[in-house]
Structure formats: C-alpha cells, structure tokens
Amino acid sequence: MMFFKRFSRKLAYLSLTKLTAFIVVCSLLTACANASNTPQIGAQSGIQESPSLEQVNNASQNENSDLPEAVSNAILKDASKRTGQSNDKLKIIASESRTWKDGCLGLADPGSLCTQVVVPGWEVKVSNTKSQTWVYRTNNSGSLVKLDPASKS
C-alpha cells in the first residue's frame, strides 16, 4: 500500500510539472506575440534582420506555378464575398509562388503585430467580367488570405 501512495504522489508531481511547463511556454509565446516590432535603441548587434521582401521574392519566384486548389478556392471565396459577385464571374488570371518576409505576408496593418518568420505562399491576381483586378497574398495552404490594399479598385 505504501508503494502505491508514493507512486501516486510522483505521478501527481509529474503532471503538475508538465502543467507548469506548459503554462510557462504559453506565457512566453504570448509575450513574444505582444512584443513590439519596432527596433529598440541600443539593441544587440548579434540579432539578424529579416531579409527584405525583394531578396525573399527574388530567391523564390516561380512563374507558371501550379496553384493548389485549396488556395484558389480560398481566394475566390474571399473575392466573391468582397465584391458580391458569384465565383463564376471571377477568374484567377495569374499566380506566382512567393515567400513573404513575415506572418502578415508583407501587408501589416498599422499597429498590428506580425510574426517575424519567412512564410512561403502565393501572389494571385483575380479578375471579374468588368476587367477589375485584385491581387491577393496567401500562405501555402490558403488558410491565410490577404487582399493587397494597393490593388483595390
């Protein structure tokens, strides 16, 4: 009986330790997500800067790429919702594989925070029957779709 009591105490200790570690990791991730993207004065010089968008795109451009169906569906769904037009009046006219310099796909809203990680994805042009075009940026899976504000007509 004594063995069982010791075993149950150790098991409870391990569960508590894992829970504590999980809470600490979640807190650190939350703190990182809430950190400012602006460089600090006197920041350490050992920190590497993110590559420029031009450097990233020059290294990753693939003309005539095969756009995944999930990405095209997500884009057409967003374009349809924004324009009020059905999918049959919208057409993807160009797509290019890209690598974006951050988690906002290079389209950060003022005051928003973006992960500082390179994101592989797509730049896609959509047109309608009235010859209006929109440029979208996505990640590889199409789970993140952003309309380039410069392309709104």
> pLDDT tens digits for 117-137?
999 999 999 998 888 899 999
Q: Pairing relation of β-strands 145-147 and 90-100?
A: unpaired
Residues above pLDDT 90, as percent of the chain: 39
12 against 110, higher pLDDT: 110
139 has pLDDT over 90? yes
> pLDDT tens digits for 43-78?
444 444 544 544 444 444 444 458 999 999 999 999
Classify residue 52 as left (phi > 0), alpha (psi -120 to 50) or beta.
beta
